[in-house]
Each structure stands twice: as structure tokens, then as C-alpha cells.
């Protein structure tokens, strides 16, 4: 969990993304757009967050998929579900799936969700760049570092006060 210590967060770019799920769930619960049919979805997301916190990524993934199946096609919670499913998939080791889900979730008009998705994508790109550097694939590493920088900048534009993206 996030402990507010920026030096610890910066040592692992993906560490902060786990704790941001709680923030995202809080945003979803306070949204004026939440309809009665979406209450079940929010309950499932809450259970998924608890499962993820307990290290049960497969259960969290299943609950997110169930939550997604309960939503109407154009629900404003769709991107929230995708974001949380991305957290579960990353925790289960499915980085490419998480990357795609966060790309999709970031297309929302919700600036907070754009920021958190961009931040987490930047972490994935940074991790991939570090692996490319270890393999001495300079061109690939440079491309990934530029992608990470672009996503961090997007996170800051969407949420200028986000301390994690500033670090």
C-alpha cells in the first residue's frame, strides 16, 4: 500500500498503481451518474479490490469480468471496470492485457481516470525499457522511455496535482 514515501514509490514504477485502485473506487461511488443497475457492479468492484489487496488476483479478475458483464454498453463505469481489471491482470502477470485495458480506460472524458491510467501505462513502459536496456536493445529502450515520458506528461496534464506523477 502507498505509504506516502516518494523515494520508496520511485524505486518501482508499478508499485503505486496498486494503491490507486481504492481512489478509483471512491470516485466511482461518488459519481452522480451511478444508476441503480450499476450498484451491483460497484459491489463487485469493491470485492475485487479486497481480493486484489489479499493477493487473490484470479478472484479479482473474475469479479471484474462479472462486473463488466452487468453493465449496460455505454455505462460511465465501463472504463472504471477496465481500469480495475487491468490492475488484476497486471497482478496476475498479464502485463500486455493490463496495458491494453489501461489504454482503453484512458479514453474516458474523466480526467482522474485518464491520469491514473496514463501513470500506470508509464510504469509499464518504464519497466519494459529497463528490460530492453538489460538486453542492450538501445533503440527499443529509447522508444519505450519516450512513451513512458509521454504518459507521465499526460498524467500531469490530466491531474496537475498528482504527487506520484510529479516524482
Q: Could you read off the pLDDT of 32-77 as tens digits, one per residue?
A: 555 656 788 889 999 999 999 999 999 999 999 999 998 888 888 9
Res 162: pLDDT: 76
Q: Are 65 and 57 in contact (CB under 8 A)?
A: no
What is the spatial distance between Cα 113 and Cα 83, in angstroms, rounded to a whole number?
A: 8
| 10 pLDDT above the threshold of 90 | no
Query: Which CATH number is 6-166 given?
Result: 1.25.40.10
Please state whether 31 falls in left (phi above 0), alpha (psi between -120 and 50) or beta: beta
Q: Could you read off the pLDDT of 118-167 as tens digits, one per residue?
A: 999 999 999 999 999 999 999 999 999 999 999 999 999 999 987 776 66
Amino acid at each position: 500500500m502507498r505509504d506516502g514515501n516518494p523515494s520508496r514509490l520511485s524505486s518501482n514504477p508499478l508499485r503505486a498503481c496498486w494503491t490507486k485502485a481504492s481512489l478509483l473506487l471512491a470516485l466511482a461511488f461518488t459519481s452522480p451518474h451511478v444508476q441503480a443497475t450499476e450498484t451491483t457492479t460497484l459491489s463487485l468492484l469493491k470485492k475485487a479490490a479486497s481480493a486484489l489487496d489479499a493477493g487473490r488476483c484470479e478472484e479479482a479478475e473474475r469479479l471484474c469480468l462479472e462486473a463488466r458483464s452487468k453493465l449496460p454498453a455505454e455505462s460511465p463505469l465501463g472504463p472504471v471496470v477496465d481500469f480495475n481489471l487491468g490492475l488484476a491482470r497486471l497482478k496476475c502477470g498479464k502485463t500486455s492485457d493490463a496495458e491494453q485495458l489501461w489504454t482503453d480506460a484512458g479514453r474516458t472524458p474523466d480526467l482522474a481516470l485518464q491520469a491514473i491510467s496514463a501513470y500506470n501505462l508509464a510504469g509499464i513502459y518504464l519497466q519494459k525499457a529497463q528490460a530492453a536496456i538489460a538486453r542492450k536493445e538501445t533503440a527499443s529502450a529509447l522508444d519505450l522511455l519516450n512513451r513512458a515520458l509521454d504518459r507521465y506528461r499526460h498524467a500531469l496534464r490530466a491531474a496537475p496535482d498528482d504527487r506520484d506523477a510529479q516524482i
